[in-house]
Amino acid sequence: MDHTFHSGTLRQVLETLETDQETGLRPEEGARRLAEHGENRLEEAKETGYLRRVLGQLKDPMILVLLAAAALSFFAGGGRDWLDAVIILLIVVFNTVISVSQEDNARKALEALRKLSAPKARVIRDGVERRLESAQLVPGDIILLEAGDYVPADGRILWEAGLQADESAMTGESLPVHKRGGSGLPQDTPLAERKNMVIGGTVITGGRGRVVVTATGMDTEMGKIAGLLLRQAQGETPLQRKMGEVSKVLSLVCVGVCAVMFGVGMLQHRDILDMFLTAVALAVAAIPEGLPAIVTIVLAMGVGRMARQNAIIKRLPAVETLGCASVICSDKTGTLTKNQMTVLEVWTPVPGRQSQALTLGTLCGDAKEGPGGYVGDPTETAIAQKAREEGLEKARLERDMPRRGEAPFDSVRKRMATCHALPAGGCLIAVKGAPEAVLARCTQVLGHDGPRTMTEGDRRRILGVGGDLAAKALRVLAVAQRKQGGVPPSFESRELERDLTFVGLIGMMDPPRPEVRGAVDRCAAAGIRPVMITGDHKDTAVAIARDLNLFRPGDKAIDGAGLDFLPQKTLEEEVETFSVYARVTPEHKLRIVQAWQKKGHVVAMTGDGVNDAPALKAADIGCAMGKTGTDVAKGAADMILTDDNFATVVAAVEQGRGIYANIRKAIHYLLSCNIGEILTIFLATVLPFPHAPLSPVQLLWLNLVTDSLPALALGMEPVEKEVMDQPPRGKQEPLFSKAFSLRLAWQGVMVGGLTLLAYGLGLRLTHDYAVANTMAFATLTLSQLFHAFDVRSEETSLFHLGIFSNPAMNKAFLAGIALQGLVLLAPPLQGAFSVVPMALNQWGIVLGLALTPLVVCEVEKAIRHARRKKPEHVQEETPAYR
């Protein structure tokens, strides 16, 4: 779009566009320009093909190792171990299908942008008004707009009568903007203040006008946002990065241990084919095949819980991202506030005359009765609603005092006047507008005994009260009246707006949502920094932020003009000092989000407007409002809040933290079990045992069935109460902390040692490798099922949690016992899994060894708890040192 269209004169604009404001373009010229400029549509991002998306899922290192293990299993055994390969491939396919289907609806933003364009437009072509599809508009077309119309393209206003536009979706301005034609504006005028232009995709809320189209398609202001969305890449979530680390570590461990084993086998002059099969078994043991699917399913279950709490997640890994959010950048209008103007104060020079002021404000307005209340200009609907609360119905007032004429509001006079017939005869002139503009036309002020002459002291007092109300971030209107015996000779403004009597001031604002302050305080307690980013004025934004406790002592505010002069490097250095960013553009929002991210923060962005979409997409997680949010914002966001409640963000953060903790528990369980399996196979090779304690099919059964059910149940653990009393995790915080890794290691060594002990006892008692293998297999399986119970909490004892408090774990345990019982006891399955029946004493040894991890881990928790409790007890006995 040519940025000079708002600054030139109307004649210059029309000459540049080579059009006529009365007759418009000729049809053939319109067709030529359509071919030159293209249709008035937004470009689409090239959609990734299904095959490419599937291949993208297969690039995961863990998946690649699984595919290699499947190939090795099949080809190394000459096709004999085809069952292993098939099971692995089924897991890969299952994970891929879930991931691709969840991301099918992720690219909706550009489609929603197109829907915002008006499907039809009233156009003057060759001097004749006609209706064209908005896609057929070209620069130079003359279009007609009226209340209720979507603006189909950017344009310069040629003529208007009370034209107002709701531009909140594009600029963040919560109030309708009064438009005007006429002279140009300075070239550097911000988008939100270009009163002589209309913006494509916004809505006309009042009046009517004639506009010349200056830009269409991707050249419009909305097209710029679409371009930002096209250029903005989708980054990895913290969980995806951490799972990538897990995959790489496991891959290196697998390759390293396999190499060592192969070398040892060669030194021992073992058969090369047998060593390949052993390497397959070790690969199966080292890689938790079910982990990708389990993580996906745990996330999906979390999505279901969050949907019941009014948060809809579009991308599964984004659930966990909320858990480590350290900054929430929130739009003001419609997110922190109600997006509904409300009268908060009515002041009159004489106490008790508020009803008179509300009567004048209601009469001098065009609010209409709608299905859910008054509709129209937000300030006028707010006054009418307040009057209704005071028992003054607009319909009854207009019936008793019907309107005879009016002088519409314009941005130069900053006033509106209406003339009404009085029941007893004569007329009432009602005027409302900006306080200084109304006062300039007042000669009297309402007193106790009726109107009296206004003094300079009265004017200073009224302006002082208006200033106090404005300091509270209230939008202030003044109302005045004049009564006369007959209908005025004309309804010109100079006739109606003279010799007025000042009646009062009405203060209103878009109030904060009542639940937001509590949510902001909870964010602060959880170590999360809430920040306001808005297109509204700085003073208004700061007042709202201070009321919500979002703007605290020492915090700073900055507006768009300040950001323009602030280099990005300086912004990155100082971004943490600002709590409020006002009068910002979409480009500013992107800069702010990226500056916080440069500081190492995980950024959540909430918003509802078209102008929020690029920042929603750039943020680590974008949260769009479901009720008031535009389709564009919903399309660009990762999460949609169906109740438009900022407090839902906090609940979602809590769920995100809980889901991460549950995924960590599942990883803890799976890897500690797999360490035991690795140790068993590795030591059996190195020692060496004549026969491997476990076969590849047994290991796959353990990883995919016995391991997976308890891991899924761990993903359904309730969120722990203390989760929101901790600071957020850092973006670079490793999944494997030192304490976590040590816990994994010693528990895995314990499980592996118990398995080898069972194998050794079986050989000593029976001298039968089949019985020893069966005892090892049964011990490893059952010990893992019991171990799942102590993994439910890293700190809290199972007996304090309640042994049966997680129904999913109870079902997983019983299912695991039943499935393992079938394998060990059913003759057809015994052959498939290479196991034999065990004697009663052998079952006793297996059960005793299997219960050991649960007992040892619970004792270790009790010891750690006692060590932590002792210093606290000492501290309580010595309060003087507090």
Q: What is the 3-state secondary structure (H, E, C) of 10-59?
A: HHHHHHHHCCCCCCCECHHHHHHHHHHHCCCCCCCCCCCCHHHHHHHHCC
Query: CA–CA distance from 119 to each of 114, 134, 145, 221 (Å)?
Result: 9, 5, 14, 18
Transcribe 590-629 into DSSP letters.
HHHHHHHHHTT--EEEEE-SGGGHHHHHHSSEEEEESSS-
Active site residues: 331
Interacting residues of 184 by C-beta distance below 8 A, sequence separation 6+: 6, 7, 8, 9, 12, 196
Inter-residue contact 606 to 213 (CB < 8 Å): no
Angle between helices 354-363 and 378-389 in degrees, nearest 10: 140
Q: Give percent helix, percent strand, percent coil of the chain, each to the nearest 5.
A: 55, 15, 30
Cα 594 to Cα 591: distance, rounded to the nearest angstrom? 5
Cα 595 to Cα 589: distance, rounded to the nearest angstrom? 10
Transcribe 190-244 into DSSP letters.
-GGG-TTEE-TT-EEEEEEEEEEEEE-GGGSHHHHHHHHHHH---PPPHHHHHHH
Inter-residue contact 294 to 715 (CB < 8 Å): yes
- For residue 719, the one-letter residue type is V
Helix, strand or coil for residue 492?
A: coil
Inter-residue contact 503 to 481 (CB < 8 Å): yes
In terms of DSSP H, where are the helices of 416-473? Answer: 435-439, 456-471
Which neighbouring-strand residues pair with 641?
A: 311, 625
Identify the burial level of 773 via C-beta atoms within 10 angstroms of its C-beta, where 0-12 means exposed, 13-18 middle and 19 or more buried.
buried
Place of tokens 């909490």: 793
As a whole number of Å, the CA-based R_g of the chain is 36
- Give first-to-last CA distance, the chain, whole Å: 65
Element (H, E) at 483: strand 475-484
Which conformational region is residue 727 in: left (phi greater than 0), alpha (psi within -120 to 50 degrees), or beta?
beta
Nearest to 113 by CA among 222, 224, 40: 222
Cα 350 to Cα 874: distance, rounded to the nearest angstrom? 66
Cα 505 to Cα 432: distance, rounded to the nearest angstrom? 9
Cα 357 to Cα 347: distance, rounded to the nearest angstrom? 8
The strand pair at 578-582 and 556-559 is best described as parallel
Q: What is the 3-state secondary structure (H, E, C) of 130-184?
A: EEEEHHHCCCCCEEEEECCCECCCEEEEEEEEEEEEECHHHHCCCCCEECCCCCC
The strand pair at 621-625 and 639-641 is best described as parallel
Q: How many CB atoms lie within 10 A of CB 868?
A: 9
Task: Give the side-chain half-sphere CA count within 13 A for 142.
Answer: 24
User: What's the length of the chain?
Assistant: 882
